[in-house]
Amino acid sequence: MRNKVSYLAVCAAMAFAACAEAGEMRKKALVVMLDGCRADAVENAAAPNLRALMDGRWQQGYKCAWSLTGNTILDAPTMSAPNHLAIATGVTGAKTGQRGNDPNKCDHAKWPSWLVRLVRHDKGKKALFVYSWKWDESISPDPNVKFVHGTDAANAAAMPKILSSPDAPDAIMWYIDWPDHAGHGFGYYPYTTDYLNAIHLVDEGIGNALRAIASRPTFGKEDWLVVVVADHGGYARGHGLMNGHATTIPFIVCGRNIASGRITGTPHNHCVAATALAHFGVDTSDMELDGGAVGGDAPAETPQRELKDALAVYLPFEGDVVANLAADTVSPVVSGSASIAAKGGFVGGALRVAPCTNGVSFVRLDGSEHLEFENGGDFAIAAWVRMDAAQNGDPVIVANKDWKNGRNPGILVTASRKVKGAKASGVCFNAGIKGGGRFDLGPFDVERGKWTFYAVTRDRHGSVRFYQGGQDGWLYWLSENAKEIDAATGSPFCIGQDATGVYSCGFDGFVDDFALWTRTLSHDDVRRIYEAGRKGVPLGDMLANGTR
């Protein structure tokens, strides 16, 4: 057997020699489709192989474009079947007609999988779909695409053998259920040990597959595309909840001709088909795909800026007077019973806001109504918040809008809002959309009596990221695209109230180390601010040190 394998390897190497002399390489692709994998879990879990892929450390000559703020399709429920079809076919639920995990409704004669499109384009190509969920056998069946069904464990064991074989298929799609199984059983949050272990198991499987690819005798003459994407995320023990928890997913693209760095904007999982077909040189212009190829263009690098740049408000809440240490163009004005607690803050003192009979316990930021946000609406807000008591209704932590209607212009973080499908009320982000719509992300669960970090930011591509971090070191985030957010209202920002100052539900809690920027913050910026605060270092100290 050893002699036979060696002979085949030599033959395969000789077969590629002519292509190598001509400067051509054999195109191959591996698309890994994860079920129920939250984007923040990839960063929080032990995933050294995925991290090496993202950092461009897999193999010499290979680069990686990646995003941990990708999205599912948004025109169908966050269930597996509609998103599996989207990943395979490149079109969303509006075209596949799939709304749930009921029998396959997609017209595959019109919307075949990218594997089928490839083998029809080039009859010399071989394609394979490896899966553990039986429903997937209905995705674009074709006699020229081999389907292999097995358990996740069996498939993970088989993949290195398949990929290291001289006769390996040119295009492979591999589905892994482990994260979703753990999420349903134990919860999807990254603090759930079993969920994190499932991500680690996925990482080990992908690592073994990548090592098998790199061990191929013909690897140096091949051009591999490796894509890792998820069908959806999850919340509590389910994934029917939209508003970020189930829709925020990882999107990783690695190859010889891929641009290196974080993907700008919001890649969606239905972009996989176009990405894979583009790698093989297949023209998709007449296919009516909903997603375009991802990773071929260099990400627009955002210059690294000091944290003090475009910082309009910084309130450390220390001493007897509420002072803005960032700029003199915005002045905080304390109303009602709002006051500074000298002790008990996250770092030193803190703002104490409690409901009162006249409903005017808050801090108004006079002058903030005149702030000009970069790129027509970029912003960032960060603060540490503690709520000892249950909130009455849906009070405001910070806002520059009238909260009587979520469609009103402006942005807002509410301390308590019940979202359909959520197990309890929690902290949510809301914004008005130009034309009268609304945008919501959340909720984040609240742990009473514990200081919690919150941040929200929007960039020039319309991507909104909403963060929650605990003192335990776990940082979570939700992300969706909202290009038409109407952030400027002509009304001042208020802490503890909406912009009117008379909203009926009063906030009951503490706020510390509050900051407002008129620009976006990068993910790394948010992570640094959070990690410093968790260690007792306030933003003011970071500003004094000129932290970037």
List per-residue pLDDT tens for the chain, 548 residues long: 333 333 333 333 334 333 443 458 999 999 999 999 999 999 999 999 999 999 999 999 999 999 999 999 999 999 999 999 999 999 999 999 999 999 999 999 999 999 999 999 999 999 999 999 999 999 999 999 999 999 999 999 999 999 999 999 999 999 999 999 999 999 998 788 999 999 999 999 999 999 999 999 999 999 999 999 999 999 989 986 667 899 999 999 999 999 999 998 899 999 999 999 999 999 999 999 999 999 987 665 566 899 999 999 999 999 888 999 999 999 999 988 889 988 888 888 999 998 866 557 899 999 999 999 998 899 999 999 999 999 999 999 999 999 999 999 999 999 999 887 777 899 999 999 988 899 999 999 999 999 999 999 999 889 999 999 998 899 999 999 887 888 889 999 999 999 999 999 999 999 999 999 999 999 999 999 999 999 999 999 999 887 66
Instruction: Report which DSSP code applies to 135.
Output: G
> How many other C-beta atoms lie within 10 A of the C-beta of residue 138?
16
Give SS3 for 206.
Answer: helix
| Rounded Cα distance, 306 and 314, in Å | 14
Whether residue 491 contacts residue 393, with contact meaning beta carbons closer than 8 Å, is answered with no
Report the pLDDT value the prediction gives residue 307, as an integer from 0 to 100. 96
H helix or E strand, kind and range, residue 184: helix 178-186
Q: Where are the domains of the chain?
A: 25-279, 311-544
Q: What are phi and psi of 526, to 5 degrees?
A: -60, -45
Report the pLDDT value the prediction gives residue 420, as an integer from 0 to 100. 75
Nearest partner of 51 among 42, 62, 63, 41, judged by Cα: 42
> How many other C-beta atoms lie within 10 A of the C-beta of residue 331?
16
Whether residue 486 contacts residue 434, with contact meaning beta carbons closer than 8 Å, is answered with yes
Report the pLDDT value the prediction gives residue 241, as an integer from 0 to 100. 65
Question: Beta strands 437-444 and 452-458: pairing type?
Answer: unpaired
Helices 80-89 and 114-121: crossing angle in degrees, nearest 10, is 20
Report the pLDDT value the prediction gives residue 488, as an integer from 0 to 100. 83
| Rounded Cα distance, 519 and 310, in Å | 6
Angstrom distances, CA of residue 301 to CA of 262, 455, 495, 509: 9, 22, 33, 39
Q: Tokens in use for 282? A: 């297949």
On the question of a cis peptide bond just before residue 160, with omega within 30 degrees of 0, the verdict is no
Q: Provide the CATH number for the domain formed by 311-544 in this structure.
A: 2.60.120.200
Same fold, 25-279 and 311-544: no
Whether residue 325 contacts residue 315, with contact meaning beta carbons closer than 8 Å, is answered with yes
| Rounded Cα distance, 80 and 51, in Å | 25
Taking the model in full, what pTM does it have? 0.92
| Rounded Cα distance, 545 and 313, in Å | 18
Report the pLDDT value the prediction gives residue 297, as an integer from 0 to 100. 77
- Class for domain 25-279, per CATH? alpha beta
| Rounded Cα distance, 421 and 241, in Å | 5
Query: What is the residue type of 300?
Result: A
Q: Tokens in use for 180? A: 């979703």
Whether residue 492 contacts residue 279, with contact meaning beta carbons closer than 8 Å, is answered with no
Neighbour order of strands in the sheet with 411-417: 331-335, 362-366, 493-495, 396-399, 411-417, 426-433, 437-444
Report the pLDDT value the prediction gives residue 207, as an integer from 0 to 100. 98
Residues 6+ apart with CB under 8 A from 361: 335, 336, 337, 338, 353, 354, 355, 496, 497, 506, 507
| Rounded Cα distance, 16 and 337, in Å | 78
Report the pLDDT value the prediction gives residue 15, as an integer from 0 to 100. 40
The single residue listed with the structure tokens 């071989």 is: 126
| Rounded Cα distance, 526 and 382, in Å | 8
Q: Tokens in use for 175? A: 């589905």
Report the pLDDT value the prediction gives residue 2, as an integer from 0 to 100. 34
Give SS3 for 122.
Answer: coil
Q: What is the DSSP string of 355-407?
A: --TTS--EEEEETGGG---GGGT-EEEEEEEE--S--SSS-EEEESS-TT-TT
Q: Tokens in use for 467? A: 């963060």
> How many other C-beta atoms lie within 10 A of the C-beta of residue 235?
26
Give SS3 for 86.
Answer: helix
First to last CA, the chain: 58
